[in-house]
Structure 1
Amino acid sequence: MKKILVIVLFFGIQFSFVSCSKDSDSINEQILMAETFMNVSYGSNAQQKYDLYLPADRSTEKTKVIVLVHGGGWVEGDKAEMEFFIPYIKLRHPNHAIVNINYVLADANTPAFPNQFLNLDAVINKLTTEKNELNILPQFGLIGVSAGAHISLMYDYAYDPDDQVKMVGDIVGPSDFTDPFYSENPAFPAYMAALVDESAYPTGTDYATVLSPAFRVSNASSPTLLFYGNADPLVPLSNATTLNSKLNNAGIDHNFTVYNGGHGDWAPNDIEDVKAQLSAFVDTYLGVN
């Protein structure tokens, strides 16, 4: 009798220990704190860095990722220019992770294309590989400004075969380099040649077309928001209307908004409208389950 009692007590203690251990693990999973990692390296170049903002109570089942991509004509700019978005995203979408990226800027030795698209690919691949460590779900929304919008559009339309990107926010992004605004500019061919790594493309490639997001739209493209100015000296409104038409023809859900002003220098209420539309798109296409 005593021996049976000892066995019962032993297994009771073991069961209690296992139960407590599981409860403890469960509690630990539930109380993940928000974390920020600045200047995370994703490549060998010193410019290949991103800032990562992880929310509290994140998990691989629900924590999707918003990626911010700065502008600067492919040759300048920095992720610091996108920081103004971050407090709004944290407030409006507290359950999303945020990644604010730098990419390798083009210079005499390093062309922009396709390297900058591949930089974004490297970021997405790194985050995907580390999804369990970071407790994130590798589904992405891209928000880019100017050159960053061009990179974001090109990535989604041409470099995302696994459909990890679920939405794109395009703020004044160049989308059609065949537009006379560019093609009839005497300096444009030299500028394009300087930006392109010709060894990465087949001989005879029409770079103006291949590098234009408007001509890469397909029925696999992600829902896209377009924001443009009606007096933009850098990206003509005709670029936006061409992209809008291509998205219409492909049946891609999108919205096209034109503001009074130039290259993003719009009225404060227009900037708030951009944020609100992006936020609604995140809810629709990158919502937390």
Structure 2
Amino acid sequence: MKKIFVLIFLFGIQVNFISCSKDNDNNTTESLEEKTMLNVSYGNDPLQKYDLYLPADRSSNKTKVIVLVHGGGWTGGDKADMDFFIPYIKLRHPDHAIVNVNYVLADMDTPAFPNQFLDVDAIINKLTAEKDELQILPEFAMIGASAGAHISLMYDYVYDNDDQVKVVGDIVGPTDFTDPFYSENPNFPALMAALVDESAYPPGTNYAEVLSPALRVTNDSSPTLLFYGNTDPLVPLTNGTTLNAALNNSQIDHSFTVYEGGHGDWAPNDIENMKEQLSTAVDTYLGVD
């Protein structure tokens, strides 16, 4: 009788163990549905919001993140300006998350620098802190247009202390404010003064230098893709060549593509070529294992 009781007891443990194992298996293999979260706040300002697109079957072991940063001269623009990228990214990179960000635009009371770089830092920190809840792996590609490219480059080259950004796409971004195109413009000093929070920098800081990504390249900078127009009236092609030379000198993986046209108003096939290059870079530097 005692032997029978022991056998029943052991059998019960075995059944319970198998049952729990099955439950655990179900939990670990349970797939997550695609999810969109619009206007997620990352600060107190109404502009401190982002849209987050989470893919199906995501996990904290593989789901890396593509960040889109709009342009607008640091004083305008909206994340909606980058919406045209989202269907393409979803098609080409269905296993990546996408974050389309707004940052606080500069005005008479709110300077752009360094606040807009710090906004990006707040977004990266929030996503990193919520990686388990969101089921993402906090490694990032940053794709910026115009002022957004400048912000993206500066964030990677200066503020990304934990090396979470793995590749940057620079679409007509200003990179060198010491360029005569800017420095010889009589209105430029006033513009720079309006954009900079002087209290955030040491006295005597040369703002044109410290805010120029081409002059902040180091051996730790991320691979960078450069896209410029040869007749751009807002950002001179020399800003592209200067950054290209700096990346060469620091032996950073990069590419430099020049299209016929101005500030992003390129032929449709050139736009497609740019998107294809960016997509290949995501596969190369931010691939899903």
Q: TM-score, normalised by structure 1?
A: 0.98
Q: Match of 1:271? A: 271
After the TM superposition, which residues 36-185 of structure 1 pair with which residues of structure 2 at under 5 Å, given as runs? Answer: 36-185=36-185
Letter in 2 for 1:171: I
Amino acid at match of 2:98: I
* Aligned-residue offset at 1:22: 1.3
RMSD across aligned C-alpha pairs, in angstroms?
0.8
Q: Quote the Cα distance in structure 1 between the aligned partners of 2:85 and 2:221.
A: 24
In 1, Cα distance between equivalents of 2:117 and 2:83: 21
Q: CA deviation at 1:20?
A: 2.1
Q: Partner of 1:200 in structure 2?
A: 200
Of 18, 23, 26 in structure 2, the residue corresponding to residue 24 of structure 1 is 26
What is the deviation of 1:2? 3.3
Q: Secondary structure at the match of 1:257?
A: strand
Counterpart Cα distance in 2 of 1:3 and 1:242: 82
Q: Aligned equivalents of 1:137 and 1:2: distance in 2?
A: 51
CA–CA distance in 2 between the matches of 1:170 and 1:68?
A: 11
Segments of structure 2 that go 5 or more residues without pairing to the other structure are none
Distance 1:19 1:151 in 2: 48
Cross-structure match for 2:5: 3
Number of aligned residue pairs: 287
Look up the equivalent residue of 1:181 and give its one-letter code: F
Letter in 1 for 2:73: G
Aligned-residue offset at 1:8? 2.8
Which TM-score applies when normalising by structure 2?
A: 0.98
What secondary structure, in the 3-state scheme, does the structure 1 residue paired with 2:167 have? Answer: strand
1:261 alignment counterpart: 261
Deviations 1:45-87 (A, max 9, x none): 0100000001111111111100000000000000000000000
Q: CA shift at 1:5, angstroms?
A: 3.5
Amino acid at match of 2:52: L
Q: Which runs of 5+ in 1 are unaligned?
A: none
